[in-house]
Chains A and B, each alone.
Chain A
Amino acid sequence: MSWQTFILHFFTYGILLYSLILLICYVLIGAFSISETRSYLHKNSFTDYRLLASSTETPSMSILAPAYNEGANIIENVRSLLSLHYNNLEVIIINDGSKDDSLEKLIRAYDMYKVDFFVGQQVKTKPVRGVYKSYNPVYRKLIVIDKENGGKADALNVGVNIASNDYFVCIDVDCVLEQDALLKLAKPFLEGANQRVIAAGGVVRIANSCVIEGGRLVKVNLPKQFLPRIQTLEYIRAFLLSRMAWTKLNGLLLISGAFGAFDREIVINCGGYNTNTVGEDMELVVRMRRYMEERDEPYKVAFIPDPLCWTEAPSTFKILGRQRNRWTRGTIETLRFHKVMLFNPRYGILGMLSYPYWLFFEFLAPIIEFFGTIGLIIYCFTYAINWSAILIMIGVLCMGILYSIFAIMMEVLTYNQYKERKDILRLVGVAILEPFIFHPFVVWSAIRGNIDLIRKRNSWGEMTRQGFAAEKKVS
């Protein structure tokens, strides 16, 4: 065996070992997810949410919805938020220096006036230009803040400063929430008798092709377009498998910025959202966990698998690429800020399991996959076809398909949002196609995210959405 062959084998079997460990992780994630989801569903069958809706002991909540140039749909979106079932609620819309007429529209539609409002600086932010409340008592829950543009994290920090309640829920203003979403999200905070629940996340689902009327989800449909449909599968996999499994281990690092609830006191003690990263949602959760670990206080990050929040997924490769590029940069930045935790037993599960998993299988996986694929192509072109490497490649592809089909099965056995048999078969078809069409693009976007980070390009990336009204026309 020549040294060249040895090196070739070494890398080939190195990747095999990596894939094996990943496979074991997938199996464990599947097992933990089954256990956690079963337990949640059993517990939930005993829960009467009407209790929370009528009780005066319900924890008070503030919804924080940052808005930037959302003028097209902002009135309907705010109306949808105001109609949520929850007793002790305030809705705070933060106009982050929009260049459009969002603020004027809100003032007109909700009969608002500027109030004298002292904005504390528990978390440092860009200046607030004005705080608005409504003359109409029907909208007494609504507060609109106008501030200088500072990005999503800065807008959320202003919301944290102004919120008067114990917990806040951050959401993307264009998301559609189920009517009982807040009741379900509040419950985990009431259950932590031995440990403090510092944050709770909920499942985000894809709303493309769904029927939305008056800011409410009326009918769930599988997206008709290919990209949103693939993302439907991706979201099921991420939320129903991965996050449930990490919740079981109390090692969840990410609560989606589109929908999550937080303990305001802990967020303020941690310094609020980090404005120096595009992954402010993950970074906040990691920092809150680190804060609790360093103080040796028992805590939990909860997650509930009910489909509560519906969002519009990117339907073009251009916008999807920007989103994935940003997610990659956010992950790397977060891992870099908290590198002290890597394999540090002081941080328990967080340092010994969650952080290493994100480093090796979320951050490194696309890089290994990219260079592995390039290597394989080079071998083929130089007539040095390595059948072992090709088999590993096929194995990895099949593993991905297996994991996706397992996720579809979990969806069918639990929430079964897509009741038609043909929709499930379509999802299976998507699971088979994904590794060939969608996944390479996601890997490429992640690589571009790495390159952009090295070149210090840290833009958010514009996220143009069709809007649900436009979507309705398409469907």
Chain B
Amino acid sequence: MVIKAYLLTSFNIAWHIQNIILAGIILLILGLLVYMLSYMYFKSIYDKKFEKWSLISDLLIRKAIFYDDDEIEDDTLIPVTARAEKLMHNKYFRKLLVTEIISAKKNITGISADNLKHLYVQLGLEKYALNNLTSSRWYIKARAVQELTIMDMKEFVDQLYSYTDDKNDLVRMEAQSALVQFNGFDGLRFLDTITYPISNWQQIKLLQQLSHLPPSDIDMSIWFKSPNSSVIVLALKLARNYHRFELHDDIISCLDHSDPWVRFEAIQCLTEIYTDETSDHLISRFLNEILKNQLAMIKVMQTIGTDRDVLFLLDLLTYDSDEIKIFAARALAQTSKNGLDSLLEYSGKADQSINEIVMHIKGEIAA
């Protein structure tokens, strides 16, 4: 009886709960509908307003770009209309103006670009950007770093340096790019100290920035000893891209690194930076490598291999892995005349799969 009474009370409570939940759900549906429709309504109003503001900022930017003084001085004032000056107090207008200035600055160089920077400083926009650097929101902080970089505000480089090891990946990426933008290869000094990994995406970005600069003999040896694997990987890519032959021994030492990512990049790097002994280094480590790195090693040997490596490559044709066999056959065919002859001779005695591989390789060569 007690259990029954208890259950009855529970069911009554549940009845009330479900009523409340149902009412709540219906209210939420209505609330969401009102919010969504209001959003669309106000957005259409704001879009019209933004269109007008866009015209004002376009005019301002055009004035700066086509400012007719030959050389703009620090105290020169680019004319700003009273309307624009008044709107500068509106943060949404400022945001729009900065976006448009940045977009224009990215696509122009020379005097026009200097004029845009002048306009940016004249309007005091850098102060807002500096203020945003202290924001607790990562995207505001990252946007501020990006803004100062694009606007070429070199005077804040020391301030930006502290963000190169920020806990947020976007903030540190932008800060690292800023340093490279301002100081070229010397800007890479942040690699000496950073603790967070540099993603492949960021590496692509940094390498692309550096590709516009003349090559440099910057000392990279310290980066090969970094406890941060991604720093070593970036150093390896730099060594490869800029043909830093003097780093051959450092690269070879990376073949024994514990991180397979570092070893992979080191192997790739040896395609460009090698000596007569490089193949021996690869062969001696081949058995202990993971498949991906073994394939990379064979691919390197395709480029740097000599007659000395033919026996090793022929031995690979006995492996179980189809990928190793086909990579080895390709390397043999391209290493030397002796390699191709050995491959053809071997295929005469080998099983059907090797013959198919040889036919495949012949087809590749013919194409």
Contact = CB atoms under 8 A, between A and B. Distances in A.
A133 B360 CA distance: 13
A1 B7 CA distance: 10
Interface stretch (A237-245, A287-295, A376-384, A405-413): A405-413
B309 interface: no
Contact of B36 (A45, A120, A265, A409): A409
A51 B198 contact: no
A16 B25 CA distance: 14
B204 A115 contact: no
A51 B208 contact: yes
B77 interface: no
Given A51-B208, A121-B322, A398 B29 contact: yes
A462 interface: no
A51 B205 contact: yes
Interface string A375-403: 00000000000001001101100110110
B98 interface: no
Contacts of B291: 265
Interface stretch (B14-22, B64-72, B245-253, B331-339): B14-22
A398 B36 contact: no
B11 interface: yes
Nearest to A27: B28
B139 A13 contact: no
A45 B359 CA distance: 49
Nearest to A59: B200
A406 B32 contact: yes
B266 to A, nearest CB: 16
A46 interface: yes
| Majority DSSP secondary structure for residues of B touching A | helix
Contacts of A412: 36, 39-40
Contacts of A399: 25
Contact of B18 (A57, A265, A388, A428): A388
Count class of interface residues, chain A: 35 or more
Nearest to B201: A190
A121 B7 CA distance: 63
A104 interface: no
A118 B353 contact: yes
Nearest to A188: B201
B4 interface: yes
A412 B356 CA distance: 56
A55 B208 CA distance: 7
A136 interface: no
Interface stretch (A191-199, A324-332, A439-447): A191-199
A23 interface: yes
22 contacts: A1-B8, A13-B11, A16-B14, A16-B18, A23-B21, A42-B170, A46-B142, A57-B200, A116-B363, A118-B322, A118-B357, A120-B322, A121-B322, A122-B323, A187-B201, A190-B199, A193-B230, A391-B18, A392-B18, A405-B33, A412-B36, A412-B39
Interface of A: 1, 6, 9, 13, 16, 20, 23, 42-43, 45-46, 51-52, 54-55, 57-58, 115-118, 120-122, 133, 187, 189-194, 265, 388, 391-392, 394-395, 398-399, 401-402, 405-406, 408-409, 412-413, 421, 424, 428
Closest 5 CB pairs of A and B: A120-B322, A193-B197, A116-B359, A42-B139, A190-B201
Given A402-B32, A409-B32, 15 more contacts: A13-B14, A16-B14, A55-B204, A120-B326, A190-B200, A191-B200, A193-B198, A193-B200, A388-B14, A391-B19, A395-B18, A405-B29, A413-B39, A421-B40, A424-B40
